[in-house]
Amino acid sequence: MRSENAPATSTPVAASQSLTLAGMLFAVSMTFIDQTIVSIAAPDIIHELGLSSVGMQWVVNSYLLALAAFFALGGRLADVLGHKRMALVGTLTFVAASALCGAVPTGSAAQTWLIVFRALQGLGAALMFPAALAVVVEVFPVQRRGRALALFFGVAGGLTAVGPILGGWLTSWTWRAIFWVNVPMAVIAIVLTLMAKIRNTPRREPIDWVGAALVAVGMALSVLGLQQAATWGWDSPATWLCIAGGLAVMVLFVLFELRTQDPLIKLRVFADRAFAADNAVLFFAMIAFVPVFFFASVYSQVALNQSANDAGLYLLVFFAGFAPGSQLGGRLLDRVGARPPMMVGTAVGAVGFALWAGKITDLSLGAQWPYIALAGLGIGLLLTPASTDAVNRAIGASYGEVTGITQTVRNYSASLGMAVLGTVLLHSTTANIQDTLLAHGVPAEVAHGTAEEITKSITGHGEGGGQGGASGASAEMIDAVRHAFAEANGPVLYGMAAALGVAFVCALLHPGTRVTAEPAPAAGQEERVAAPGA
Tell me the per-residue pLDDT of 437-484, one tens digit each, with 9 for 90 and over.
888 777 877 777 778 787 777 665 544 444 444 444 567 777 888 888
Of 488, 483, 454, the C-alpha closest to 469 is: 454
Q: Which residues contact 323 (CB under 8 A, 6 or more apart)?
A: 154, 157, 158, 376, 380
Query: Which helix (H) or strand (E) covers residue 492, if one does?
Result: helix 475-508
Candidates 77, 171, 69; CA nearest to 128 is: 77
Distance CA 13, CA 94 (A): 29
Cβ-count burial of 237 within 10 angstroms (0-12 exposed, 13-18 middle, 19+ buried)? exposed
Distances (CA, A) of 265 to 214, 272, 327, 440: 12, 14, 30, 58
As a whole number of angstroms, the distance between CA 439 and CA 477 comes to: 10
pTM confidence score: 0.83
Half-sphere exposure of 399 (CA within 13 A, CB side): 29
E runs forming strands in 245-358: none
Handedness of CA 112, 422, 276, 30 (dihedral sign): positive
Q: Of 60, 64, 66, 61, which Cα lies nearest the Cα of 43?
A: 60
CA distance 467 to 484: 14
Please list the residues that pair with 513 across neighbouring strands: 532
* pLDDT value for 48: 87
pLDDT of 104: 92
Task: Give the pLDDT of residue 460.
Answer: 59
pLDDT in tens, 192-232: 999 988 888 888 888 899 999 999 999 999 989 988 887 88
Looking at residue 464, what is its pLDDT? Answer: 41
Distance CA 38, CA 326 (A): 26
- Per-position DSSP letters for 212-228, written without gaps between them: HHHHHHHHHHHHHHHHH
Cβ atoms of 153 and 384 closer than 8 Å: yes
Distance CA 342, CA 332 (A): 10
Round to whole Å and give the CA distance between 223 and 179.
Answer: 24
**Residue 527 contacts by C-beta under 8 Å, 6 or more apart in sequence?**
520
- Residue ranges of the chain with per-residue pLDDT less than 50: 1-15, 462-472, 522-534
Cα separation, 12 vs 4, whole angstroms: 15
Query: Cα-Cα-Cα-Cα dihedral of 452, 453, 456, 461, to 10°?
Result: 120
Residue 455: enclosing H or E segment and its boundaries?
helix 444-458
Cα(482)–Cα(165) distance, integer angstroms? 23
SS3 530: strand
Which H or E run contains 515? strand 513-515
SS in 3 state form for 425-436?
HHHHHHHHHHHH
Q: Regarding the domain delimited by 13-203, which CATH topology (the fold level of the hierarchy) does it fall under?
A: Growth Hormone; Chain: A; (1.20.1250)
The CA distance from 486 to 359, in Å, is 10
**Measured between alpha carbons, how far is 143 from 145 in angstroms, rounded to an integer?**
6
Contact residues for 491 (Cβ-Cβ < 8 A; gap 6+): 357, 424, 425, 428
Q: Quote the crossing angle between the two packed helices 444-458 and 399-439, to the nearest 10°.
A: 150
CA dihedral 91, 94, 98, 100 (to 10 degrees): 110
Summarised one tens digit per residue, pLDDT across range 330-376 is 889 989 999 999 999 999 999 999 999 999 999 888 889 999 999 99
